[in-house]
Structure 1
């Protein structure tokens, strides 16, 4: 069984038992809807739609069409146009970085540090998070970034005269799409949660400092400090002595 399918099954179990409610809400999805999309991706990963025989071009249902539909739906839930623009830019940059890596990094058993099937989605996931920032943008960039790479590869085959075949969203790309998208969201969730807590704690500290500053007896409105009280008492005593004289 492919790694991407295993990851999706694990995610479905987590979602089913209610262990990912926060992330699902941040993505603007419902639990049942996400379960449906993940199931369609799993089933669709076994379905390749032929497009051309010369050159050999096909589109994987679970690795292309379903993720694109899911991405469009998530984008429709974006808070503003800036988030949509940032998501699209993140997709393009992530795809460009993946393509650049394929040109400079070739996996060789026993000679390279990490298999490209794991290196590329890790780099894509980190890139998607750094550019996307939000969970929605990170997920979209992580999943669709590999489709950008596939499209570049397709253009080279059809217009560039480079021999080969293109299985868009399939032939190992499916695993990378799943790993990249999940990693991007996890990074955003973990790092975002840390920053949110730090900001929240800082706000509480400032509020406490503000409350302490304006509730101290010596700075309450209409009250006097010790020195002011002593000066007032001295003035009163001086007036009494003058009156007696």
Structure 2
């Protein structure tokens, strides 16, 4: 995939642990916030944090679901020279994820956790079999962030969510699974080519 094998799972672990860190960016005007509770969405349960002390929804950026994936995606694009192919793959995944994204009152924007990884795997293999692994991570990460979060920021106001995290909660599940699929694709393609174990995945 263009990253040393020794660091792949470290990066995935760092991304997982970083999912608990939200970096506040802006606060929306005051509105009625929903009380803490649990929201069911496509079989997944999400906890609504206590927003009693906040006058309005806080827009935040998730460290593990946005910051780390974006940095790694940019590195993979440059490292593998996947400029045009990345634009194509990210565009397709963005459209697919945006169509699936759904506003959840008291929670924010969410989408089925298995959709981004499945769509990404198909798109990555279709666009470039030789670079399927890095494309899977790039398209899954950026496509999910753009399609689910950035294109739906205008829908946050009025949902009554204490915190709306870009790359967090409902989106992090899909982004994290995309990273795992990218690693599996890298291993599969490596074995298919008959290469002996090397230093990169």
Same fold at TM > 0.5: yes
Q: Go from structure 1 to structure 2 and tell me whether the alpha carbon gap of 1:175 and 1:148 turns closer, same or farther (over 3 Å shift).
A: same
- Cα RMSD, aligned residues only: 2.9
Structure 2 equivalent of residue 87 of structure 1: 86
Counterpart CA distance in 2 for 1:120 and 1:30 is: 25
Structure 2 equivalent of residue 231 of structure 1: none
CA contact (8 A) 1:63 1:177 kept: yes
Counterpart CA distance in 2 for 1:181 and 1:126 is: 14
- In the TM superposition, 1:1-245 aligns within 5 A as 27-54=1-28, 55-78=57-80, 80=81, 83-102=82-101, 116-133=112-129, 134=131, 135-149=133-147, 150-154=149-153, 156-157=154-155, 163-164=158-159, 166-184=164-182, 186-187=184-185, 190=188
Counterpart CA distance in 1 for 2:8 and 2:115 is: 27
**How far does residue 49 in structure 1 lie from its aligned partner after superposition?**
0.8
**How far does residue 191 in structure 1 lie from its aligned partner after superposition?**
6.7
Bigger RCO (CA 8 Å, 6+ sep): 2
**Whose strand fraction is larger, Structure 1's or Structure 2's?**
2
Structure 2 regions of 5+ residues with no counterpart? 29-56, 105-110, 195-201
Q: How many residues align?
A: 153
**How far does residue 186 in structure 1 lie from its aligned partner after superposition?**
3.5
Structure 1 regions of 5+ residues with no counterpart? 1-26, 107-114, 198-245
Question: SS in structure 2 opposite 1:50?
Answer: strand
Q: Based on CA coordinates, which of the two structures has the bigger radius of gyration? A: 1
CA contact (8 A) 1:91 1:140 kept: yes
**How far does residue 86 in structure 1 lie from its aligned partner after superposition?**
0.5
Q: Go from structure 1 to structure 2 and tell me whether the alpha carbon gap of 1:151 and 1:28 turns closer, same or farther (over 3 Å shift).
A: same
Q: Go from structure 1 to structure 2 and tell me whether the alpha carbon gap of 1:130 and 1:186 turns closer, same or farther (over 3 Å shift).
A: farther
**Whose helix fraction is larger, Structure 1's or Structure 2's?**
1
After superposition, the C-alpha distances for 1:180-222 in whole angstroms (9 at most, x for unaligned) are: 343355457547865x57xxxxxxxxxxxxxxxxxxxxxxxxx
CA contact (8 A) 2:115 2:174 kept: no
